[in-house]
């Protein structure tokens, strides 16, 4: 299976041997890669029973829980890195979870689909329809993506929360190598990856 | 030590062959007994003194591998016994108490694992307890039986592992009091198991549970037939034990489960009788549960085991739970059950947090269920895949 480029970029941000908490870790693919490549002490949080079972089958440490309830079971600064990969838009309280991430972890890595990419923009502008694309494949009436945001929105959230953006990276797709530099990422990036710390 | 029954065809692995129509089930099993009566086999008790000799009743399922690396110890709860799966005879009406989880292809797959379950000391179904004969007097112990603790129960079962030649279990799995035993095992015997699966339990007996146990004990001791615990050979304190069981039973259910199961339905009548008879289904059910319990359980055992539960507090010897877990080596799968109000999920999460604070390998799963505390005995589909995955991935990292 081809390695996901967004995972590769996230891995590059994680220090060797770090303690990592992966929120909405799914079946544990990113965590397994981090353990294999970066020798991290990793664990995940996941709400879905089948996904938890897969994680456990892989020998991962996973906590079955609902991110919308926060991270009360995790202590302040108990992890080097806390990751939320492409799930921010599915949470009921995304701002709260970003706060929780920088409370629990020294570095928070958040990736999200950029709703201001020209594809959704043009679908809305030209067709007058809710955008449906490879990154956002759902119809408006069944989408789990209830809190979509843009690159600009996330930067603004970081400013308001007093978070320092250590790294920001952009992808045109999860399976294509990132361009050396994207000009106007808010228009041209499909995915934004931010690494932030509490100032 | 002496085996009180001669070994059958197989030294260990009791599942009788030739019941292919029973596929998926653990088959026909029998309870074995082993008595530890040799010098050096005395059981030093946490509360002082020793128990010697002592007997453990146990059952096994599946076969122990040549490398002895596939053994899974299942520890039982307050009213459980060694008969955890299978049937004692072909026309046995009820299988063992966790039959849903143990058998070929089940969560604890007896095609892969050698499953062991022993009646705890202090028990009344084959292991040494208050109804056993006191070697000093030749009469039943009654309340002369020493107070035992969860640690004592565990130490006795470690003797059984020695007897079976098992240095290190693949896993120790238990719910409620069984969960306390597996936690005690990994703390006091860190090298004896690779995996630990505590379910619906706590690292210390919660206050409310002590309170309910005290009501049960008072009911037993208030029964005139209890006679200070020396009632063997005469009338038993069945009424007191029955009330204790009724109280206990309520704590194993949930508000929602009771509403659903009984509601306010009347038992075999069309209107209130305006008497104190069991008009409501729930009353009739509890009376039946209480009464049938007295046919299979000893009142003194109820006193001793609830006492052991109440004394359980892993942090007591170590100051904090985090310190208690410091030397632990096992990997954990901790399971809570959403509607369990005897051991609510927060008590399981406390265990998880303390393990995490010492960087132990721990996973937590919360079963969504309205069955209350009893959910761990009922929610097969929501549990077995996770437990099976934990055991099979754990088997890959097993080492001595």
Determine, for residues A58 and B353 on separate chains, whether the beta-carbon distance falls below 8 Å.
no
Q: Using CB atoms, which residue from B353, B359, B365 is nearest to A52?
A: B365
The alpha carbons of chain A give a radius of gyration, in whole angstroms, of 16
B399 is catalytic: no
pLDDT single digits (tens) B103-150: 999 999 999 999 999 999 999 999 999 999 999 999 999 999 999 999
**A71/B contact by beta carbon, under 8 A:** no
The phi, psi pair for B16, rounded to 5°, reads -70, 140
Of A55, A57, A61, nearest to B362 by CB-CB distance is A61
Count of alpha carbons within 13 angstroms of residue B383, beta-carbon side: 28
Q: Which residue of B has its CA nearest to A48?
A: B365
What number is the average pLDDT over the span A126-141?
93
List Cα–Cα distances, B74 to A120, A157, B79, B297, B398, in angstroms.
55, 51, 14, 20, 18
Rounded CA gap, B28 and B91, in Å? 10
Query: What does residue B23 show for φ and ψ, rounded to 5 degrees?
Result: -55, 140
Q: Which residues of chain B have pLDDT under 70?
A: 1-23
How close A39 comes to chain B (CA, Å)? 15
The predicted-structure confidence for B45-91, as pLDDT tens digits, reads as follows 999 999 999 999 999 999 999 999 999 999 999 999 999 999 999 99
Establish whether B373 is a catalytic residue.
yes
B397–A contact, CB cutoff 8 A:
yes
* A90 shares contact with chain B (CB less than 8 Å): no
For residue A54, what is the nearest residue in chain B, using CA coordinates? Answer: B389
Binary contact (B356, A56; C-beta < 8 A): no
Q: Of residues B109, B223, B279, B340, which has the active-site annotation?
A: B340
Using a CB–CB cutoff of 8 Å, tell me whether A49 touches chain B. yes
- Phi, psi for residue B356 in degrees, rounded to 5: -65, -35
Rounded to whole angstroms, what are the CA distances from A187 to A196, B130, B303?
22, 78, 72
- For the cut 70, the answer to whether the pLDDT of residue A63 exceeds it is yes
% of chain A at pLDDT higher than 90: 89
Is B315 catalytic? The answer is: no
Chain B within 8 Å of A64 (Cβ-Cβ)? Answer: yes
Q: pLDDT value at position B138?
A: 96
Residues of B in contact with A74 (CB under 8 A): 356
Chain B partners of A52 at a C-beta cutoff of 8 Å?
A: 363, 365, 386
Chain B residue numbers with beta carbons less than 8 Å from the beta carbon of A63 are 352, 363-364
Instruction: Please give the full DSSP string across B285-315, using - where no structure is assigned.
Output: HHHHHHHHHHHH--HHHHHHHHHHHHH-BTH
Is A61 near chain B, with CB under 8 Å? yes
Helix (H, G, I), strand (E, B) or coil at A112: strand
Pairwise CB contact (< 8 Å): B393 & A56: yes
CA distance A187 to chain B (A): 41
Interface size A-B, in CB pairs within 8 Å, comes to 53
Tally of residues, chain B:
400
Q: What confidence tens digit (pLDDT) does each residue in A101-131 have?
A: 999 999 999 999 999 999 999 999 999 999 9
* Contact (CB, 8 A) for B171 and B389: no
**What does the mean pLDDT of chain A come to?**
94
- pLDDT per residue as tens digits for the range A4-43: 889 999 999 999 999 999 999 999 999 999 999 999 999 9
What mean pLDDT do residues A93-101 have?
Answer: 98
Of the pLDDT bands very low, low, confident and very high (cuts 50, 70, 90), residue A2 is: low
Say yes or no for a CB contact (<8 Å) between B359 and A54.
Answer: no
Compute the distance between CA of residue A191 and CA of residue A179 in angstroms, rounded to an integer. 12
Chain B residues whose beta carbon lies within 8 Å of the beta carbon of residue A78: 356-357
Residue A199, Cβ neighbours under 10 Å: how many?
A: 9
């Amino acid at each position: 299976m081809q390695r996901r480029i967004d995972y590769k970029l996230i891995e590059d941000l994680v220090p060797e041997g770090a303690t990592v908490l992966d929120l909405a870790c799914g079946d544990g693919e990113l965590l397994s890669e981090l353990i294999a490549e970066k020798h991290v002490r990793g664990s995940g949080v996941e709400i879905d029973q089948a996904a938890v079972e897969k994680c456990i089958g892989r020998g991962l440490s996973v906590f079955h829980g609902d991110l919308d309830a926060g991270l009360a079971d995790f202590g302040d600064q108990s992890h080097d890195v806390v990751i939320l990969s492409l799930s921010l838009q599915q949470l009921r309280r995304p701002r709260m979870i970003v706060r929780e991430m920088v409370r629990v972890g020294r570095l928070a890595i958040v990736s999200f689909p950029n709703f201001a990419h020209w594809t959704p923009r043009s679908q809305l502008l030209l067709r007058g329809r809710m955008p449906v694309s490879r990154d956002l494949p759902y119809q408006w009436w069944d989408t789990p993506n209830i809190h979509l945001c843009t690159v600009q929105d996330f930067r603004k959230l970081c400013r308001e929360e007093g978070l320092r953006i250590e790294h920001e990276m952009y992808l045109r797709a999860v399976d294509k190598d990132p361009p050396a530099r994207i000009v106007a990422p808010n228009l041209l990036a499909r995915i934004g990856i931010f690494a932030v710390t509490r100032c | 030590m002496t085996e009180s029954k001669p070994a059958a065809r197989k030294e260990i692995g009791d599942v009788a062959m030739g019941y292919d129509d029973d596929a998926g089930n653990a088959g026909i099993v029998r309870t074995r007994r082993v008595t530890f009566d040799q010098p050096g086999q005395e059981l030093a008790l946490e509360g002082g003194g020793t128990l010697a000799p002592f007997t453990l009743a146990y059952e096994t399922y599946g076969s122990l591998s040549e490398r002895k690396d596939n053994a899974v110890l299942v520890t039982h709860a307050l009213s459980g016994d060694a008969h955890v799966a299978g049937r004692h005879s072909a026309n046995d009406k009820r299988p063992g108490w966790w039959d849903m989880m143990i058998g070929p292809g089940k969560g604890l797959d007896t095609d892969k694992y050698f499953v062991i379950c022993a009646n705890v000391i202090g028990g009344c179904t084959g292991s040494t307890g208050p109804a056993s004969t006191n070697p000093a007097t030749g009469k039943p112990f009654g309340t002369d039986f020493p107070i035992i603790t969860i640690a004592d129960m565990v130490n006795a079962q470690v003797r059984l592992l020695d007897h079976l030649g098992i240095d290190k279990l693949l896993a120790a799995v238990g719910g409620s009091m069984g969960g306390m035993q597996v936690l005690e095992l990994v703390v006091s015997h860190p090298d004896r198991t690779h995996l630990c699966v505590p379910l619906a339990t706590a690292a210390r007996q919660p206050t409310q549970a002590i309170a309910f146990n005290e009501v049960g004990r008072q009911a037993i001791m208030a029964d005139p037939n209890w006679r200070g615990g020396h009632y063997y050979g005469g009338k038993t304190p069945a009424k007191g034990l029955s009330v204790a069981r009724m109280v206990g039973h309520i704590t194993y259910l949930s508000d929602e489960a009771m509403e659903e199961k009984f509601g306010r339905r009347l038992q075999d009548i069309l209107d209130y009788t305006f008497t104190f008879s069991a008009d409501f289904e729930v009353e009739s059910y509890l009376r039946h549960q209480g009464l049938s319990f007295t046919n299979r359980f000893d009142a003194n055992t109820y006193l001793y085991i609830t006492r052991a539960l109440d004394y359980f507090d892993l942090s007591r010897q170590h100051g904090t739970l985090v310190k208690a877990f410091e030397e632990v080596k096992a990997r954990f799968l901790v399971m809570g059950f959403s509607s369990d109000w005897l051991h609510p999920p927060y008590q399981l999460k406390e265990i998880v947090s303390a393990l995490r604070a010492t960087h132990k390998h721990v996973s937590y799963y919360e079963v969504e269920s309205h069955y209350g505390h009893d959910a761990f005995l009922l929610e097969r589909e929501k549990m077995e895949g996770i437990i099976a995955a934990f055991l099979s991935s754990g088997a890959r990292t097993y080492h001595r």
